[in-house]
Structure 1
Amino acid sequence: MGSKNKLKRFKENETFANVFQPTREDITDVVFPLQGKWATFFKNDNPIVLELGCGKGEYTIGLAKQNPNKNFIGIDIKGARFWRGAKTAIEENIENAAFLRTQIELIDKIFAVGEVAEIWITFPDPQIKYKRTKHRLTNDAFLAKYRQVLKPDGLVNLKTDSEFMHGYTLGLLHGKGLEVVYANHDVYKNEGSPKEVLDIQTFYENQYLEKGKPITYIQFKVN
């Protein structure tokens, strides 16, 4: 994407009522205004679901369409990417979808304890090198943050093409004695996967499927 396109999208994001772009200092130096108060933005008390590393926002939008009784927030540091999802939500009047430009490690500063019902992690960078372990979105540090913002029975969903990420996460969950609700190492060949896992496909997922890569899925609890 050219720099002019990026700048155009950044500018357009600033005009979208469903996009939030706080600075890091807005989150770390003061209490974030919507922490514990996201229901005031959505104007209802419906469950809040996060998509972490939402990319173009396909999953956030897809889930919002399928579940009008829930509120969805796509989070990514790259606003030029989720511009597409935010614009689609406005064009199609999808009022239960919003987007937040920030670092994922700050979610415990953005959401109050128990404010989130569910988390989706879709096709994250598996960060295979050992020195990148701290960046894996299912490592101990991130699980602790999810535990803080999730309700007691809150769910985490990991959908990935990375066998490494799938195995790493399962091993970590079993080692910590956390509940694995469902696991599948090839969702399109094995029966039983939830509807939203099969019905919603991201841009990158379609590329992986064209290459014949299996798509894996885990649903688990951290509390």
Structure 2
Amino acid sequence: MSRKKLQRFKENEENRNVVQPGKDVFEKIKGHWNKVQFENVHPIVVELACGRGEFTVGLAREYPEKNFIGVDIKGARIWKGSTIAIQEGLQNVAFLRTQIQVLDKFFAEGEIAELWITFPDPFPREGDEKRRLTSPKFLEMYKPLIQKEGVVHFKTDNTDLFNYTLDLLDQREDTEILIKTHDFYHSPWKEEHHGIKTKYEKIFSDKGEKIKYLKFRFIS
């Protein structure tokens, strides 16, 4: 392991806005994010597979009245967003280092107000369907964690994954699609995202690929 990586891991251990294995808070945070981590009662917004945290931090800048948590298993990636948040004095940002498959071990029922799924791995092979972050398995895990009026945002460049998700939601009786577009940057909702882009979104959009966006909620 490189010296740079080791230094970043050490800083993650010291940074209060990183919740990860080895810290006491890691085992106790479920149901207590507002009280323990943020010390306020603001709504909690979670981004899955946040990478370096560009989107999480970007949203936190725009919405100081909300708390933002980026989730990723890669500590070196989380370090970037964590460091920027600290440098900018953003108190409404935190990062959780864990596998998304066990998200329900870290959030209590109804603790999340909004969930963002941004440019996940499409896992195109049929045998990998269960690994897609919009598969039935994951939707069933998200459902109880999200508040009754809460919403899920989904952005991707992958047309097959987007259509798969749309078809899946259309078949369910417990979801309502609020917004859908196959060309987000030529849609009425573009300005709502304040130009904030993930690393991969910038790569894909710079290549001229159309970004798909979907917003939905659970209704029962």
Q: TM-score when scaled to structure 2?
A: 0.93
Please tell me the residue identity of whatever aligns with 1:181. Answer: L
Partner of 1:219: 215
Unaligned runs of 5+ in 1: none
Q: What residue identity is the alignment partner of 2:77?
A: R
CA offsets, 1:93-127, max 9 Å, x none? 00000001001111111111001100001110011
Aligned amino acid, residue 188 of structure 1: Y
Contact 2:109-2:146 within 8 A present in 1 as well: yes
Structure 2 partner of 1:80: 76
Aligned residues: 215
Q: Work out the CA distance in 1 between the residues paired with 2:102 and 2:199.
A: 26
Where structure 2 has 5 or more consecutive residues not aligned to the other structure, the ranges are none
Is residue 2:200 matched to residue 1:209? Answer: no
How far did 1:154 drift?
1.1
Which residue pairs with 2:176 in the alignment?
179
- Residue 51 (structure 1) aligns with: 47
Distance 1:197 1:141 in 2: 28
The TM-score, its normalising length taken from structure 1, stands at: 0.92
* Aligned-partner residue type, residue 94 of structure 1: L
8 Å contact from structure 1 (residues 63, 196) kept in 2: no
Q: Structure 2 counterpart of 1:217, which letter? A: Y
SS of the residue corresponding to residue 14 of structure 2 reads coil
Query: How far 1:222 moved relative to its partner?
Result: 2.5
Question: Aligned partners of 2:39, 2:163: CA distance in 1, in Å?
Answer: 40
Q: How does 1:38-187 map to 2 (within 5 A)?
A: 38-40=33-35, 41-177=37-173, 178-187=175-184
2-structure distance, mates of 1:4, 1:14 = 16
The 3-state SS of whatever aligns with 1:14 is helix
* Stretch deviating more after TM superposition (131-140 or 205-214): 205-214
**Which amino acid in 1 is paired with 2:171?**
G
Cα RMSD over matched residues? 1.5
Q: In 1, Cα distance between the equivalents of 2:160 and 2:15?
A: 37
> How far is 1:193 from its partner?
1.3
**Aligned counterparts of 2:131 and 2:6: Cα–Cα separation in 1:** 27
Preserved CA contact (<8 Å) 1:64 1:94: yes
Q: Is the 8 A contact 1:59 1:200 kept in 2?
A: yes
Q: 2:184–2:190: 8 Å Cα contact kept in structure 1?
A: no
Distance 2:144 2:78 in 1: 26
